[in-house]
Amino acid sequence: MDKQVGEYLVRLARRSVEHFFETGQVLEEDPPFEEVKEKRGAFVTIKRVDGSLRGCIGYPLPIKPLYKAVIETALLAAFDDPRFPPLDESELDSVLFEVSVLTLPEEVPKDRLFEEIKIGRDGLIIEGYGRSGLLLPQVAVEENWDVETFLDHTCLKAGLPPRCWADPEIKVKKFSSIVFSEVSPRGSVVRLL
């Protein structure tokens, strides 16, 4: 995915939220790039300019065309992340939009976790006991975690105890993502991963 497409997706995420504030409607879009019409997993992350999280929601699996997934998850991250109150319009000048485009998750054999999971490349999904948790690849980089710590925190995200990843009933999946983000609110867009 080239920078032009990444920039389009990040600007689309922001425009979706701004459009909703202006009209109360979901943005209708005719995308200029064919590749964003393909079904892909995607997450939109909204961060305050100090780097702290303000909202993050996504679709881990390719259930919608990428541009539609970005429009919908931008609105969900802004207004429906249960960890935060809904975004207020006054915050738009002090938040950054980030888009992660995901590959299909693949299960990692338990005896190969430490060989196959690479910090900075892979995100993780933990599934088991009716629960699941996902952490994007950039989280481990931002937190300076090793593989074991990343696995433990993905267990916690699923509402399961650390080290649950060693349980035979738990599935560990990895995926990679291409990540683009604003450098400043409405500013230039760069590729992070």
Q: Tally the residues of the chain.
A: 193
Note the pTM of the prediction, 2 decimals.
Answer: 0.90
Query: Is the separation of the CB atoms in 8 and 36 below 8 Å?
Result: yes
Q: Are residues 41 and 78 in the same domain?
A: yes
The CATH number that applies at residue 52 is 3.30.700.20
Q: Are residues 10 and 37 in the same domain?
A: yes
Q: Are residues 43 and 81 in the same domain?
A: yes
Q: Are residues 18 and 81 in the same domain?
A: yes
Q: Are residues 87 and 118 in the same domain?
A: no
The CATH number that applies at residue 150 is 3.30.1490.150
Q: Are residues 185 and 132 in the same domain?
A: no
Strands (E), 72-121: 95-102, 106-107
One pLDDT digit (tens) per residue for the chain, 193 residues: 999 999 999 999 999 999 999 999 999 999 999 999 999 999 999 999 999 999 999 999 999 999 999 999 999 999 999 999 999 999 999 999 999 999 999 999 999 999 999 999 999 999 999 999 999 999 999 999 999 999 999 999 999 999 999 999 999 999 999 999 999 999 999 999 8
Q: How many helices (H) and strands (E) does the chain have?
A: 5, 8
Q: Are residues 121 and 159 in the same domain?
A: yes
Q: Which domain holds residue 138?
A: 106-175
Q: Which residues does 127 contact at the CB level (< 8 Å), separation at least 6?
A: 158, 170, 171, 173
How many folded domains does the chain comprise? 2
CA angle in degrees (0–180, nearest 5) for 139-160-109: 70
Which pLDDT value is given to residue 163?
96
Which pLDDT value is given to residue 140?
96
Query: Is the separation of the CB atoms in 175 and 122 below 8 Å?
Result: yes
Q: Are residues 44 and 135 in the same domain?
A: no
Q: Are residues 34 and 86 in the same domain?
A: yes
Q: Are residues 58 and 112 in the same domain?
A: no
Which pLDDT value is given to residue 34?
96
Q: Are residues 123 and 145 in the same domain?
A: yes
Q: Please report how many Cα atoms fall inside a 13 Å half-sphere around the Cα of residue 68, on the Cβ side.
A: 8
Q: Are residues 93 and 23 in the same domain?
A: yes
Give the burial class of 66: count Cβ atoms within 10 A of its Cβ; 0-12 exposed, 13-18 middle, 19 or more buried.
Answer: buried
Helix then strand then coil, in percent of the chain rounded to 5, is 40, 30, 35
